[in-house]
């Protein structure tokens, strides 16, 4: 499974409330709420923190990537642009940490200045030009205008550059991983720089979920209020529905009680039948004994005195 598929799967599991938020009718209110939350929970991108060279656990980077991707989506970045940027990092063999940094930078910039077309192709060109870490983030942050489309020939050149980078990048990451494993095996502490960014993202999503729940609660109250205006008898219908639910509940209770009574009666009847059978068997035994005694007496009389 490639990283894009994994990101999609994790996004579906971790960020389900945001999907509901995107489908909500009050889209403008949602955008303003998301912006206010982002303002209160600011994502930092320290210039010295190079995600491409950090000593973080890969699992934190992988988990952070779909969250960062969703941040870009909430900021108004088109899905095709997001996918284009992810494909570029994947084709170049870059880590999930690099992809997450790219998404976070574009999300923050788009929330501040509005989404600009051409993000995916722009990132593709920057990566093909060899930009990484703080230089890559700075270029994304500096972009003010839409990035013009490239010719097919130019796109082919970018693709070849990325393909040429991939093997070298994967080899570099492999050596780095082996070095980290050796350090851990030797008992040395490895600094996890990606943890701070991951915790920031999780905190941001939690804050947005709270805002989303409050907004949905308010939205439902408004819907009920509007429905009552349009349908004056709505309260009566609601009361009737409540009465019907109560009647059905009472009926279920009566049926359940009837079943319990029937079960108790069956047990009593079974006990009575058992008692009757035992008495019948006792009488039969008594009759058998009496017959045996009578038969023995008759036999004694026939035999006479000896």
Give the angle subtended at the CA of 99 by the CAs of 96 and 101, to the nearest 5°: 110
Q: Which residue has the higher pLDDT, 279 or 211?
A: 279
Instruction: Read off the tokens for 147.
Output: 């990035």
Would you state the pLDDT for residue 200?
73
| pLDDT category of residue 125 using cuts at 50, 70 and 90 | very high
Q: What is the mean pLDDT of residues 224-253?
A: 78
* Whole-number Å distance between alpha carbons of 105 and 100: 9
Q: What is the pTM of this model?
A: 0.50
Q: What is the mean pLDDT of residues 3-25?
A: 44
| Position 27 pLDDT exceeds 90 | no
Would you state the pLDDT for residue 193?
59
Which residues 6+ apart lie within 8 Å of 136 measured at CB?
A: 98, 101, 102, 126, 127
| Position 19 pLDDT exceeds 80 | no
Mean pLDDT highest for which of 44-53, 212-221, 264-273? 264-273
Which residues 6+ apart lie within 8 Å of 242 measured at CB?
A: none
Instruction: Read off the tokens for 157.
Output: 């050149």
Q: Which residue has the higher pLDDT, 32 or 181?
A: 181
- Mean pLDDT across the chain: 78
Q: Which residue has the higher pLDDT, 291 or 243?
A: 291
* Whole-number Å distance between alpha carbons of 290 and 295: 9
Would you state the pLDDT for residue 51?
41
| Position 10 pLDDT exceeds 60 | no
For a pLDDT cut of 70, what percent of the chain falls above it? 73
Would you state the pLDDT for residue 139?
92
Q: Which residue has the higher pLDDT, 95 or 27?
A: 95
Cα–Cα nearest to 205, from 101, 44, 69: 69
| Position 32 pLDDT exceeds 70 | no
Q: Which residue has the higher pLDDT, 75 or 26?
A: 75
The answer to whether the CB of 43 falls within 8 A of the CB of 111 is no
Q: Which residue has the higher pLDDT, 254 or 46?
A: 254
Q: What is the mean pLDDT of residues 38-56?
A: 44
Would you state the pLDDT for residue 24?
42
Distances (CA, A) of 54 to 173, 176, 194, 196: 11, 10, 7, 12
The answer to whether the CB of 88 falls within 8 A of the CB of 121 is no
Would you state the pLDDT for residue 232?
66
| Position 18 pLDDT exceeds 60 | no
Torsion angle in degrees (nearest 10) through CA of 137, 88, 199, 31: 80
Provide the residue ranges of all domains of the chain, joining segments of one domain with +. 3-222, 232-306
Location of structure tokens 């026939």: 302
Would you state the pLDDT for residue 71?
87
| Position 254 pLDDT exceeds 70 | yes
| pLDDT category of residue 67 using cuts at 50, 70 and 90 | confident
pLDDT, tens digit, 9 for 90 and up, residues 81-109: 999 999 999 999 998 888 988 998 999 89
Query: What is the number of residues in the chain?
Result: 306
């Amino acid at each position: 499974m490639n990283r894009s598929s994994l990101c999609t799967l994790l996004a579906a599991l971790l960020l389900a409330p945001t999907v509901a938020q995107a489908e909500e009718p009050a889209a403008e209110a949602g955008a303003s709420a998301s912006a206010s939350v982002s303002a209160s929970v600011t994502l930092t991108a320290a210039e010295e923190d190079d995600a491409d060279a950090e000593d973080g656990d890969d699992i934190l980077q992988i988990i952070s990537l779909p969250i960062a991707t969703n941040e870009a989506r909430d900021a108004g970045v088109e899905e095709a642009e997001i996918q284009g940027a992810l494909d570029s990092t994947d084709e170049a063999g870059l880590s999930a940490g690099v992809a997450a940094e790219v998404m976070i930078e574009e999300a923050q910039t788009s929330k501040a200045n509005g989404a600009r077309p051409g993000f995916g192709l722009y990132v593709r060109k920057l990566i093909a030009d060899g930009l990484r870490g703080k230089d890559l983030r700075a270029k994304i942050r500096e972009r003010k205008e839409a990035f013009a489309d490239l010719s097919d020939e130019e796109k082919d050149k970018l693709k070849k550059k990325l393909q040429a980078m991939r093997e070298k990048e994967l080899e570099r990451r492999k050596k780095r991983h082996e070095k980290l494993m050796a350090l851990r095996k030797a008992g040395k502490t490895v600094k996890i720089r990606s943890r701070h960014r991951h915790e920031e993202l999780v905190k941001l999503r939690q804050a947005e979920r709270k805002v989303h729940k409050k907004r949905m609660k308010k939205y439902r109250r408004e819907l009920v209020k509007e429905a009552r205006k349009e349908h004056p008898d709505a309260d009566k219908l609601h009361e009737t529905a409540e009465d019907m639910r109560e009647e059905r509940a009472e009926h279920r209770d009566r049926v359940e009680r009837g079943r319990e009574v029937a079960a108790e009666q069956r047990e009593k009847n079974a006990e009575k039948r058992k008692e009757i059978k035992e008495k019948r068997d006792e009488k039969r035994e008594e009759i058998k004994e009496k017959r045996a005694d009578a038969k023995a007496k008759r036999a004694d009389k026939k035999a006479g005195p000896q």
